[in-house]
Amino acid sequence: MINDAHCHFFSRQFFETLGRQRRAGPESAERITAELGWAPPGSPEDLADAWVRELDRHGVARAALIASVPEDETSVAKAVERHPARFIGFFMIDPTAADAPGRVERALGELELSCVCLFPAMQRYALQEPAVKAVIDVVARHQPTSGTAIFVHCGALSVGVRKKLGLASRFDVRYGNPLDLHGLAADHPQLPFIIPHFGAGLLREALMVADLCPNIYLDTSSSNRWLSYHPGLTLADVFRQTIETIGSDRLIFGTDSSFFPRGWNRPVYEAQVKALDAAGAAEIDRHRIFTDNLARLFPNRSG
């Protein structure tokens, strides 16, 4: 059984948000997806159904769906409500927005989502800012009763769809150092923090902070193109070093799947299986990475 901790929910609102950024006015999701050669998302319920069919086709039991622009948490909430046994709701928030704590409170409560996603390099804020602490305090209050977590994108950040649409990505990677999580994670030892993509080029720093804080997890998602920044390093080396440093019980499989018709990105899964083979990973390590760790972090609320 496979659980995927990292899939993007490219909803109608996602595409319309990018369209407004490009043309300073309304632009339909259908027009944008036609330009990209992608399938239009339809309603959130339609897109949720498409994801269920896709997960069934590949033998994936549960997946985290990420609302991939701020203020799109309702789209993922509709998908989770429609298929509560299959989806875990993640959503992006800009903590510097005045309404951020209230949006997080509603998303984790009324909307029954599970994980707040922070992209400090994208919105250009430091993780030490009071606005970030205010958001994390809300998540921490929910954690004991509903199993919530914080996802923090660190390292290199590139959003392919923005490039395809000619949108500028004025990100600042200086805000994406995993070491900046140390104080936050230490102050909230019961709250899980997830760093995706093995730290996206900052593997050393991600391993260091995860070794210091047992509530920090790494996800394995994407093509891990950041390996090109480390000549000679292979994905098998990364798995071996990570398991040796923090153990396999804090490593969570993900693909970074996003758009249709490509759907679930099986080649990412196959590459990770091959890398774990090369790393000599034990069967228990594989089971934790591909199945158990996500299930433990986010118990199935559907019963």
Q: Is residue 50 part of a domain?
A: yes
Q: How many helices (H) and strands (E) does the chain have?
A: 14, 8
Range of the domain at 23: 2-297
d(CA 41, CA 51): 11
Rounded mean pLDDT for each run of 10 residues along the chain, 303 residues in total: 97 96 86 97 98 98 97 98 98 98 98 98 97 97 92 96 93 97 97 98 98 98 96 98 98 98 98 98 98 96 75
Tokens standing for residue 142: 């929910």
What is the reported pLDDT for 146? 85
Give me the residues paired with residue 112 across strands: none
Q: Is residue 6 part of a domain?
A: yes
Q: Is residue 220 part of a domain?
A: yes
Q: Count structural domains, the chain.
A: 1
Q: Is residue 281 part of a domain?
A: yes
CA atoms within 13 A on the CB side of 19: 19
What is the reported pLDDT for 26? 82
Q: Is residue 302 part of a domain?
A: no
What is the reported pLDDT for 303? 64
Task: Give residues with Cβ within 8 angstroms of 150, minimum separation 6.
Answer: 115, 116, 118, 136, 139, 184, 191, 192, 193, 194
Give me the residues paired with residue 81 across strands: none
Q: Is residue 24 part of a domain?
A: yes
CATH (domain of 192): 3.20.20.140
What is the reported pLDDT for 230? 96
Tokens standing for residue 164: 């395809």
Angle between helices 73-82 and 44-58 (to 10 degrees): 60
State the virtual CA torsion across 152, 158, 159, 160 in degrees, nearest 10.
-150
- Sole residue written with tokens 């994801």: 51
Q: Is residue 90 part of a domain?
A: yes
Count CB-CB contacts under 10 A for residue 41. 23
Amino acid type, 185:
A
Q: Is residue 303 part of a domain?
A: no
d(CA 24, CA 225): 32
